[in-house]
Structure 1
Amino acid sequence: MEKLKQFNVEAYNWVIARHPRNWARSHFRTWPKCDMLLNNLCESYNNVILKARGKPIITMLEIIRSIMMKRLHTQRDKLVNFVGDICPNIQKILENNKRGVHDYMLEWNGDDKFEVKGWSGDKWTVELACQSCSCNKWDLTGIPCVHAIACIFFKREKAEDYVDYWYKKTTYLKAYEFMLNPIKGSREWPQTDLNLLVPWTVKSKKPGRPSLHGRRLEQDELDGKKYGLKRHGTKYSCSNCGVTGHNKKSCTQTSKNVEQPMSTTSKSKLPVSSLLIDLIS
């Protein structure tokens, strides 16, 4: 924190105003068995439903339901044929921790507690019965750290037996044992006496040039138009005849106030006597 204060005082004040359990692993609670401080789970979920988020509510939920129905059995089938008691990613972390056990020396108290010494002179205490190490990594993650694995190997036991329950293969399969059942189409849904759900009709004009390509309407939006959902706006009336629904340009009625000049085509259809009278006059 002192180094952060020297680098940026505003950042130091912002961080120090919050409880350390929200940003420092040293103050995290150990019961969740997770040391992550990221929102990757939310970002992954938003990425999956990206195409569904802009849809109407029923269509959006149907897309998410289909994605979940497929994911449940896909994730379960991946681990059914896996050989081992620990999930694959956790097994990789465990194997990586096993490689460093030769860098430590142990002092055993004769029970389940050990004093682990490093080549640099650092010391850690490990208690196998409580699955705890003073470095706090085992307590936070539920995966034995390198100090704990050195003690486990000293007792000629398997490190996989000390991995927390949440990372077991059996626990993973329990999370995906319940499947989503397929459902019928909307045409076979039970009828209801409630009012028809229609899209929201109030629209605000957005800044900028309007898009030339409109969005393809979903079925519930088409049903809304079918049952009388119309766009409300200013009603124009014709200045020629006074009838609403068209303008003067498309009006088919002749104005009574304005005397229309006679066209040449209309003169040609008059009798010859009328034409002579016009010429004499």
Structure 2
Amino acid sequence: MKKNWNGKAYKNHLWSCATATTVPEFERAMLALKEFNKDCYKYLADIPPSQWARSHFTGRAVTDILLNNMCEVLNRWLVDARDKPIIIALEYVREYLMKRIVNVLGKCKNSDQLLTPYATKQFEVIKKEASKLTVLWSGSQQYQVNGPYGEQVVVDFGNRECACRKWEIIGIPCKHVVAALYNLNANDDQVGPPDEVGAPEHWVHSVYKIDTWKNTYTFTINPINGRSMWPKSNVPYTLMPPKKIVRAGRPKKNRRKGLQEKDNISKDGRLSKKGISMQCSNCKEFGHNKRGCTNGGTSGTGKKRTRNASTSGTSKKKSKK
């Protein structure tokens, strides 16, 4: 798609279609793309939505990831072992996994929360959004949750479902479910879910819990002795490596980058921030960062920079005179 329809507008339309969690929301996003460009709409319409649109996912994976970033992280750490012989490369992978397992076990040991650090950070944002919603109880295990801009969904605790489908697809209760749980805990006379209510974290899928994270890394990789202590083999012949064809030029070590990655890389080799809306960590407003903030805050570097710029301009004028 990027080869034929490039630009931020097409990218935003694509992500609106891909991140929609319900079929009506997906259809509205596709209709907006059709009004914007019919040829691009036809290109995406020919691809089955179950392969790229979250609204058509079954929820079996229990994740909100639409990219292969997890594979790229492992690929990045193994870049130093690519040009090594096979045994040395495998030893590099083994040692890396040993260190990774130990690091994760250390984080699990120091964590006293019910969820993993990533899930905890994500769930805190959801709980803040849930405080802005209003809840109506129907007298059964279903709740009507109303939000701004005409948002209205039904939460069904009996089937563990929400009309927005985020709870089903991702596995983490959405803001509508958390708001209904808050209402349920505040009213003891209501007929609650089939099991104990407890904290909202108890309704998160088990894949995000710290106990599951610990069980995933219970299998350790044992160390081995070096090559000098390996037993000698009684094979009567010597195994020779295959003939290597040396090509002209310096061999490439880095992986081949995709078309979208090449466009986002600047001249110094780092990812470009072109087209990204910056958010200030002081005033939380978009359009600038902490260094250029003029709304006060902890640093105040933005005001200093503006004063220095004005004084430097006057000094230059005096020197010219």
The reply to whether TM is greater than 0.5 is yes
Which of 174, 180, 183 is the equivalent residue of 2:224?
183
Task: Tell me the residue number matched to 1:198.
Answer: 240
Would the aligned equivalents of 1:131 and 1:162 in 2 still touch at CA under 8 Å?
no
Whole-angstrom distance in 2 between the partners of 1:194 and 1:63: 30
Whole-angstrom distance in 1 between the partners of 2:222 and 2:124: 39
Decide whether aligned partners of structure 1 residues 195 and 20 sit closer, same or farther in structure 2, where only a CA change above 3 A counts. Answer: farther
1:42 is displaced (CA, Å) by 1.4
* Residues 124-162 of structure 1: per-residue CA shift (max 9 Å, x gap): 011123322111111111111111001111121411111
Task: Tell me the residue number matched to 1:147.
Answer: 176
2:200 is equivalent to residue 166 of structure 1: no
Whole-angstrom distance in 1 between the partners of 2:220 and 2:178: 38
Task: Tell me the residue number matched to 2:294.
Answer: none
Decide whether aligned partners of structure 1 residues 194 and 119 sit closer, same or farther in structure 2, where only a CA change above 3 A counts. Answer: farther
Task: Tell me the residue number matched to 1:224.
Answer: none
1:12 is displaced (CA, Å) by 3.2
Q: Which has the higher helix share?
A: 2
Instruction: Give the alignment of 1:13-162 within 5 angstroms.
Output: 13-156=42-185, 157-162=198-203
Q: Secondary structure at the residue paired with 1:155?
A: helix
CA RMSD of aligned residues (A): 2.2
Max Rg structure = 1
Would the aligned equivalents of 1:35 and 1:140 in 2 still touch at CA under 8 Å?
yes
Whole-angstrom distance in 2 between the partners of 1:54 and 1:7: 47
Whole-angstrom distance in 1 between the partners of 2:221 and 2:96: 10
1:204 is displaced (CA, Å) by 4.4
Using the TM superposition, name which of 152-161 and 103-112 deviates more.
103-112
Paired AA for residue 71 in structure 1: R
1:17 is displaced (CA, Å) by 2.2
* Residues 42-81 of structure 1: per-residue CA shift (max 9 Å, x gap): 1111100000011111111010000001111111111212
Q: Secondary structure at the residue paired with 1:125?
A: strand
1:4 is displaced (CA, Å) by 3.1
Decide whether aligned partners of structure 1 residues 193 and 100 sit closer, same or farther in structure 2, where only a CA change above 3 A counts. Answer: same
Paired AA for residue 200 in structure 1: P
Would the aligned equivalents of 1:35 and 1:141 in 2 still touch at CA under 8 Å?
yes
Would the aligned equivalents of 1:132 and 1:138 in 2 still touch at CA under 8 Å?
yes
Paired AA for residue 118 in structure 1: G
Decide whether aligned partners of structure 1 residues 154 and 186 sit closer, same or farther in structure 2, where only a CA change above 3 A counts. Answer: same
Whole-angstrom distance in 2 between the partners of 1:52 and 1:115: 55
Whole-angstrom distance in 2 between the partners of 1:83 and 1:48: 29
Structure 2 length-normalised TM: 0.60
Using the TM superposition, name which of 165-174 and 194-203 deviates more.
194-203
Task: Tell me the residue number matched to 1:268.
Answer: none
* Residues 65-123 of structure 1: per-residue CA shift (max 9 Å, x gap): 00001111111111212111111221111111111223322222333211112243321
Whole-angstrom distance in 1 between the partners of 2:236 and 2:42: 55
Structure 1 length-normalised TM: 0.68
Task: Tell me the residue number matched to 2:9.
Answer: none
Paired AA for residue 208 in structure 2: Y
Decide whether aligned partners of structure 1 residues 6 and 123 sit closer, same or farther in structure 2, where only a CA change above 3 A counts. Answer: closer
Whole-angstrom distance in 2 between the partners of 1:23 and 1:37: 8
Task: Tell me the residue number matched to 2:305.
Answer: none
Would the aligned equivalents of 1:20 and 1:27 in 2 still touch at CA under 8 Å?
yes
Q: Secondary structure at the residue paired with 1:100?
A: helix
Whole-angstrom distance in 1 between the partners of 2:88 and 2:239: 13
1:205 is displaced (CA, Å) by 4.1
Whole-angstrom distance in 2 between the partners of 1:5 and 1:195: 68
- Residue identity (%): 34
1:7 is displaced (CA, Å) by 4.4
Using the TM superposition, name which of 179-188 and 145-154 deviates more.
179-188
Q: Secondary structure at the residue paired with 1:120?
A: helix
Any gaps of 5 or more consecutive residues in structure 2?
Answer: 1-29, 186-197, 252-321
Decide whether aligned partners of structure 1 residues 103 and 42 sit closer, same or farther in structure 2, where only a CA change above 3 A counts. Answer: same
